[in-house]
């Protein structure tokens, strides 16, 4: 299929007017993310099966007509492994897609694993070997080569072509609703605002700190995240985890004292030491009653390893009975989330609906049996 290269506003508006009549669009993005917090959009690809267009977001400054297609509930948007595409839509387009399905999720329900690549899917359905040599290219550089453009067009041409077969197979096994729900859950997760006050919990070894130290870590992680946003830099470029952990633990009173500590990155102290000292001073002004509670560790719960193993075996049994791939039904993280809730180990008040295994399609398949199993086997 030949492609149309869109590099001006008029052509974009005409294209989107045509695409707005489609019932389904195959969509992909090319972007660069090396030294930035946010991905830099380099190209948008879209096909309705008849027209295939490559939209240049650097040449076309107002992409509103395209973003409106994404939010049109009457058009099904089909993407493969769309997690990072969603971030692009959020940061570049400030739009939350409606009526979207991820073909990687659909493939997983057909037993192809959770992370099958686009090329493997195309090979499976169309027996076409895709050239992936341009996957590492800088899509923000201009001009793009003919080879790059052909590579990019293949990402939506074959996606549109194979989707009807994939859709029919997913319907046949009865998992289309589940795939749609998982796709929507992915969107909701990506578009849920970051809770800055809980960022400290994601720092490795935060469980070692007491409430006073955790309060310092909380202030440091908030400062780091806000700096990363403001300067559009990766979190680690602002300050490494081991740096802020050491500062939270020992609360040095000067940059000279920071350099004496084991753990902090020397460059972090040299470039951000004074700023981090200011953050530590602000943390000291926090009321003690607002200090975070000590982080509870699930793996320290008595008998955790055996409990986890028994739940995993139970899930595998349900998976076999219901003929649902076990990796779709419950990941290690989801089992741990359930156990944290069951044993009331969370620092937050979690409701049943907050637990993946007890909500949505998983609750229908697994929920009541899992609750009964847990009640009968461990308290």
Residues 363 and 320 in one domain: yes
The answer to whether 312 and 370 are in contact (CB under 8 A) is no
CATH of the domain at 331: 1.10.150.80
- Domain-ending residue, one of 257, 290, 323: 290
Residues 259 and 334 in one domain: no
Q: Buried b / exposed e across 208-240, counting CB within 10 Å, b at 16+?
A: ebeebbbbbbbbbbbbbbebbeeeeeebebbbb
Q: What are residue 41's DSSP bridge partners?
A: 31
Read off the pTM: 0.94
Note down the domain range covering 22.
Answer: 4-190
Residues 245 and 166 in one domain: no
Give the three-state DSSP class for 53.
Answer: strand
- Domain-ending residue, one of 190, 213, 240: 190
3-state secondary structure 293-342: CCCCCHHHCCCHHHHHHHHHHHHHHHHHHHCCCHHHHCCHHHHHHHHHHH
Residues 29 and 124 in one domain: yes
Catalytic residues: 28, 30, 85, 151, 155
Q: Cα–Cα distance between 294 and 204 in angstroms, integer?
A: 14
Residues 157 and 217 in one domain: no
Give the three-state DSSP class for 220.
Answer: helix
The answer to whether 128 and 158 are in contact (CB under 8 A) is yes
Starting at the earlier edge strand, list the strands of the sheet with 4-6.
4-6, 52-55, 40-47, 24-32, 76-79, 100-102
Residues 253 and 167 in one domain: no
Residues 181 and 212 in one domain: no
Q: Cα–Cα distance between 298 and 170 in angstroms, integer?
A: 36
Residues 52 and 66 in one domain: yes
pLDDT, position 350: 84
User: Angle at the Cα of 279 (from 230 to 346), degrees rounded to 5?
Assistant: 90
Per-residue pLDDT of the chain (379 residues; tens, 9 = 90+): 899 999 999 999 999 999 999 999 999 999 999 899 999 999 999 999 999 999 999 999 899 999 999 999 999 999 999 999 999 999 999 999 999 999 999 999 999 999 999 999 999 999 999 988 887 789 999 999 999 999 999 999 999 999 999 999 999 999 999 999 999 999 999 999 999 999 999 999 999 999 999 999 999 999 999 999 999 999 999 999 999 999 999 999 999 999 999 999 999 999 999 999 999 999 999 999 999 999 999 999 999 999 999 999 999 999 999 999 999 999 999 999 999 999 999 988 888 999 999 999 999 999 999 999 999 998 7
Q: Cα–Cα distance between 374 and 357 in angstroms, integer?
A: 13
- Domain-ending residue, one of 134, 161, 190: 190
Residues 246 and 139 in one domain: no
Number of domains within the chain: 3
pLDDT, position 349: 83
């Amino acid at each position: 299929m030949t492609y149309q290269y869109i590099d001006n506003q008029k052509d974009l508006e005409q294209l989107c007017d045509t695409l707005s009549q489609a019932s389904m669009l195959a969509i992909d993005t090319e972007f660069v993310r090396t030294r930035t917090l946010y991905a830099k959009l380099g190209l948008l690809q879209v096909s309705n099966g008849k027209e295939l267009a490559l939209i240049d977001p650097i040449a076309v400054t107002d992409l509103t007509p395209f973003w409106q297609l994404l939010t049109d509930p009457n058009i099904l948007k089909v993407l493969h492994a769309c997690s990072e595409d969603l971030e692009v839509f959020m940061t570049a387009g400030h739009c939350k897609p409606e009526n979207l399905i991820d073909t990687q999720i659909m493939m997983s329900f057909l037993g192809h694993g959770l992370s099958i690549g686009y090329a493997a899917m195309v090979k499976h359905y169309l027996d076409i070997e895709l050239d992936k040599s341009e996957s590492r290219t800088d899509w923000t550089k201009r001009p793009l080569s003919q080879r790059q453009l052909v590579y990019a067009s293949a990402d939506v041409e074959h996606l549109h072509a194979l989707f009807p077969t994939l859709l029919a197979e997913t319907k046949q096994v009865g998992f289309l609703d589940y795939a749609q729900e998982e796709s929507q859950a992915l969107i909701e997760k990506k578009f849920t605002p970051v809770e800055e006050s809980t960022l400290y919990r994601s720092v490795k070894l935060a469980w070692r700190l007491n409430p006073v130290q955790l309060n310092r870590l909380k202030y440091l992680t908030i400062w780091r995240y806000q700096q990363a946003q403001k300067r559009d830099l990766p979190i680690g470029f602002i300050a490494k985890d081991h740096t802020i952990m050491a500062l939270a633990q020992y609360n040095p009173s000067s940059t000279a004292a920071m350099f004496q500590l084991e753990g902090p990155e020397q460059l972090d102290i040299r470039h951000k030491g004074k700023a981090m000292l200011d953050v530590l001073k602000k943390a000291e002004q926090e009321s003690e009653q607002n200090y975070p509670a000590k982080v509870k560790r699930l793996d320290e719960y008595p008998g955790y390893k055996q409990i986890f193993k028994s739940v995993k075996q139970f899930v595998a049994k349900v998976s076999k009975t219901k003929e649902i791939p076990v990796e779709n039904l419950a990941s290690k993280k989801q089992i741990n989330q359930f156990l944290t809730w069951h044993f009331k180990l969370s620092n937050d008040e979690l409701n049943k609906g907050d637990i993946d295994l007890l909500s949505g399609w998983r609750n229908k398949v697994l929920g009541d049996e899992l609750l009964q199993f847990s009640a009968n086997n461990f308290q």
